């Protein structure tokens, strides 16, 4: 009898992939972090922060949702953008559930959702995010408008920055997962190694501290990641495309690189929960965003036929 109960419990486990898609800056990465309860995906006020698919895993005793955060894109301009676009498309085609995120305070984002059709056979949820940016009556009419298309399995309003609505959203997603055993060990929350997140935190800090085009011209590579020894020793390279950008990243008397180093180190220490020694250097690779060979070296997948 007990054996029978156990096999039933295994059969009713639900697991699958939920891809989070939408235009840049609508709050996809903030939502992923809230759904997982951990700051995995980097978030900044600038659009096109996320460059690669990032997995965040949520497990409870009956479900496992593997959330995939994707880059939000408009028109690709560089080989790097082709790579970002391909990452987003791959995530879309792998999905068991699709989460389409809209910034309700930005008309273009909602219009885009209005024109979007999820792939056949994949249940899709519409997330009206940044609900703090629109009065309730306008939110109501927006929701009615989207509901009228009949393509959304459900529509959920959220404020990702505070976590409001995220529990409802999670419930809606978990309910749509197919029956399946867990895809990852249930105590894992991420599928990438810590050194990937360390590089991402340096990149996030570059986005926060540097202005204009410079953050977009930066890439971060971890050269050394030595976990034996105390503190944890990390040497990282920040790549830029021009000598003039290198000068700005270093700053007068090294002031900017010191700030980036200190802030990045604090974030990494928070992540690994131990002291970190972070050594940062800046190097120029001319036009790396336009050169598929360089992109590959920096860890970005490049689709065939990329410009």
Ligand X SMILES: Nc1nc2c(ncn2[C@@H]2O[C@H](COP(=O)(O)OP(=O)(O)OP(=O)(O)O)[C@@H](O)[C@H]2O)c(=O)[nH]1
Q: Among ligand X, Mg ion, none, what binds residue 30 when CB lies within 5 to 8 Å by partner kind? A: ligand X
- We find the least distance from the C-beta atom of residue 24 to Mg ion, in angstroms, to be 8
Q: 16 and 178 in contact (C-beta within 8 Å)?
A: yes
Start-to-end CA distance of the chain, whole Å, equals: 62
Residue closer to Mg ion by CB (options 45, 115) is 45
Q: Closest residue (Cβ) to ligand X?
A: 72
Judged by beta carbon distances under 5 to 8 A according to partner kind, the member of Mg ion, ligand X, none in contact with residue 64 is: none
Closest distance to ligand X from the beta carbon of 32 (Å): 8
Residues forming a β-bridge with 276? 232
Q: Which does 205 bind (CB under 5 to 8 A by kind): Mg ion, ligand X, none?
A: none
Measured from the CB atom, the residue of 50 and 110 that comes closer to Mg ion is 50
Of residues 42 and 232, the one with the C-beta less far from ligand X: 42
Closer by beta carbon to ligand X, 30 or else 64: 30
Which CB, 47 or 194, lies closer to ligand X?
47
CB of 101 to Mg ion, least distance (A): 10
From the list ligand X, Mg ion, none, which binds 24 (C-beta under 5 to 8 Å, kind-based)?
Answer: ligand X
Return d(Cα 39, Cα 216) in angstroms, integer. Answer: 21
Question: How large is the C-alpha radius of gyration of the chain?
Answer: 21
Q: DSSP assignment, residue 120?
A: T
Q: How far apart are CA 148 and CA 54, in angstroms?
A: 32
Q: Which two tokens stand for residue 65?
A: 């949702």
The contact set with Mg ion (CB under 5 A) reads 28-29, 49-50
Would you say 28 or 131 has its CB closer to Mg ion?
28
CA–CA gap between residue 137 and residue 143 (Å, rounded): 10
Q: Can you spell out the DSSP letters for 231-260?
A: SEEEEEEEEESSHHHHHHHH-GGGHHHHHH
| Dihedral pair phi/psi, residue 36, rounded to 5° | -90, -25
Please, are residues 85 and 298 in contact by the beta-carbon 8 Å criterion? no
Classify residue 90 as exposed, middle or buried by CB count within 10 Å of its CB (0-12, 13-18, 19+). Answer: middle
Q: Which does 25 bind (CB under 5 to 8 A by kind): ligand X, Mg ion, none?
A: ligand X
Tell me the closest approach of the beta carbon of residue 170 to ligand X, in angstroms: 15
- Nearest approach in angstroms of CB 275 to ligand X is 28
Tell me what percent of the chain is helix, strand and coil, each rounded to the nearest 5. 40, 20, 35
Structure token digits, residue 72 = 């939000």
Out of ligand X, Mg ion, none, what residue 161 binds, judged by CB under 5 to 8 A for its kind, is ligand X
> Whose Cβ is closer to Mg ion: residue 160's or residue 282's?
160
Contacted entry of ligand X, Mg ion, none for residue 259, CB cut-off 5 to 8 Å set by kind: none
Q: 63 pairs with which residues across the strands?
A: 14
Answer yes or no: are the C-beta atoms of 109 and 121 closer than 8 Å: no
Segments of 41-159 assigned E as strands? 54-59, 63-69, 97-103, 124-129, 154-157
Report in angstroms how near the CB of residue 30 gets to Mg ion at its nearest.
8
29 versus 110: smaller Cβ distance to Mg ion: 29
Tokens encoding 206: 């570059």
- Residue 160 contacts which entry, ligand X, Mg ion, none (Cβ below 5-8 A, type-dependent): ligand X
Q: Smallest distance, Å, CB 50 to ligand X? A: 3
- Residues forming the site for ligand X (CB under 6 A): 24-30, 43-45, 47-50, 71-72, 129-130, 132-133, 159-161
Q: Residue 69 CB, nearest distance to ligand X (Å)? A: 7
């Amino acid at each position: 009898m007990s054996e029978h109960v156990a096999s039933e419990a295994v059969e009713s486990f639900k697991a699958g992939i939920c891809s989070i898609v939408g235009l840049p800056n609508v709050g996809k990465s903030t939502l992923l972090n809230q759904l997982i309860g951990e700051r995995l995906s980097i978030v900044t006020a600038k659009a096109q922060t996320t460059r690669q698919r990032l997995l965040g895993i949520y497990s409870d005793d009956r479900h496992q949702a593997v959330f995939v955060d994707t880059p939000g894109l408009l028109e690709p301009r560089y080989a790097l953008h082709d790579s970002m676009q391909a990452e987003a498309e791959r995530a879309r085609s792998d999905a068991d559930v699709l989460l389409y995120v809209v910034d309700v305070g930005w008309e273009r984002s909602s219009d885009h959702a209005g024109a979007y059709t999820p792939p056949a056979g994949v249940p899709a949820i519409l997330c009206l995010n940044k609900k703090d940016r629109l009065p309730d009556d306008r939110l109501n009419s927006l929701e009615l408008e989207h509901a009228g298309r009949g393509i959304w399995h459900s529509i959920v309003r959220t404020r990702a920055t505070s976590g409001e609505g995220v529990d409802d959203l999670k419930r809606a997603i978990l309910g749509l997962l197919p029956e399946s055993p867990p895809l990852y060990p249930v105590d894992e929350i991420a599928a990438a190694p810590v050194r990937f997140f360390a590089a991402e935190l340096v990149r996030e800090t570059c986005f926060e501290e540097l202005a204009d085009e410079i953050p977009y011209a930066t890439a971060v590579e971890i050269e050394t990641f030595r976990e034996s020894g105390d503190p944890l020793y990390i040497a990282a390279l920040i790549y830029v495309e021009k000598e003039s950008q290198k000068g700005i990243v270093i700053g007068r008397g090294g002031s900017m690189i010191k700030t980036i180093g200190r802030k990045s180190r604090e974030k990494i220490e928070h992540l690994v929960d131990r002291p970190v020694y972070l050594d940062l250097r800046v190097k120029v690779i001319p036009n790396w965003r336009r050169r598929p060979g360089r992109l590959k070296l920096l860890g970005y997948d490049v689709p065939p036929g990329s410009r």
